[in-house]
Amino acid sequence: MPDRMKTVIEVKGLKNQFGDQVVHEDLDLTVKRGEIIGVVGGSGTGKTVLMRSILGLQPFRDGEITIFGKPVSGLAEREELETRRQFGVLFQNGALFSTLTVAENIQVPLREFFDMTPELMNEIAAYKVGLVGLEANAGPKFPSELSGGMRKRAALARALALDPRLLFLDEPTAGLDPIGATAFDQLILDLKRTLGLTVFLITHDLDTLHTICDRVAVLADKKVLAVDTIENLIEIDHPWIQKYFSGPRGRAALAAATESPQGR
C-alpha cells in the first residue's frame, strides 16, 4: 500500500469504456509527491482519457481515483472546489480564450475562486507572466499576437494562477521547435524545483522524457504496463517498449540526455 503522505494521485482498478470499446481495464497508477511522471503510449491507449478521468472531467465505468487523498467524484461542492484549487492544467494546444488578453486569461481561475479587486488580479497576472519567462508586455496581448512558444507559456501561467501543488501537462512541447522545446523543458524543471510541484506529463517527446521525468508510465494493453525510470523500462521485453525506447529516436534521445548538462 502506498505511503499516503507521499501519494498525490492514486488510481485503482480504473475502467474506461465508450460503447463497446474498452480503453482502460483494471488500470492502476500511483503518482508520488514532488515527482515529474511522464505518461506514454501508442495511439488509442487513452493517455488524455486517463488525465481527464483523474481531473474529474471524464466519467469512468469502474475503479477509484483520489487526488491528495480525496476522491475525484462524489464530493460535496465545497470539497470539490478545494481539491480543484490544488491543481492546474495546461491542455493540449494551450486552450487559451482567444477573445481575452493573456492577463485576462490568467485571471479566469482567480475570478472563479476568489473575490479580488481588479488591482490585485492585475498584480497576480503580471507576476505569473514573469514567472513563466514572458516579457511584461505580453500581458495586454491577445493569444493571436503571440508565437506558439509564447502561447504555451501563457497557458502555463494560467495553469499556475492558483498556486497549485499539482500540475497536469498534455503534450506541452508539441509543435515547438527543438530550441523552444528544450527551453520549455528547463522551465518546467525550474518551476518544479522552485514551487515544489508534482507534475503529471503526457508527451511523445523522448527528449523531454529523458531530460525531466523521474519516472515514466507506459500505457499498453489497456492498463499501465509498467512505471519506472527509462533505464529500467528499457530492460522490459515488450514489443512497444522496445520499439519506442530502443528505436533510432529513442537511442538518439538517450545519447543527447547523456551528453547534456541539463537534467533532474
pLDDT digits (tens, 9 = 90+) for 197-216: 999 999 989 999 999 999 99
Bridge-based pairing of strands 62-67 and 70-71 is: antiparallel
Q: How far is CA 60 from CA 18, 22, 55, in A?
A: 10, 11, 11
What is the reported pLDDT for 251?
A: 60
Q: Average pLDDT in the 72-76 region?
A: 77
Measured CA to CA, the distance from residue 87 to residue 160 in angstroms comes to 8
pLDDT digits (tens, 9 = 90+) for 129-154: 999 999 999 999 999 999 988 999 99
Q: What is the CATH number of domain 1-86+164-235?
A: 3.40.50.300
pLDDT digits (tens, 9 = 90+) for 145-199: 999 889 999 999 999 999 999 999 999 999 899 999 999 999 999 999 999 999 9
What is the reported pLDDT for 77?
A: 75
Q: How much of the chain is in helix, strand and coil states, percent to nearest 5?
A: 40, 25, 35
Measured CA to CA, the distance from residue 139 to residue 119 in angstroms comes to 14
Please determine, for residue 2, whether its predicted confidence score (pLDDT) is greater than 50.
Answer: no
Q: Average pLDDT in the 1-27 region?
A: 86
* pTM for the model: 0.90
Measured CA to CA, the distance from residue 16 to residue 25 in angstroms comes to 7
Domain limits of the chain?
Answer: 1-86+164-235, 94-163
- Please identify which residue in the block is written with the cell numbers 488510481: 11
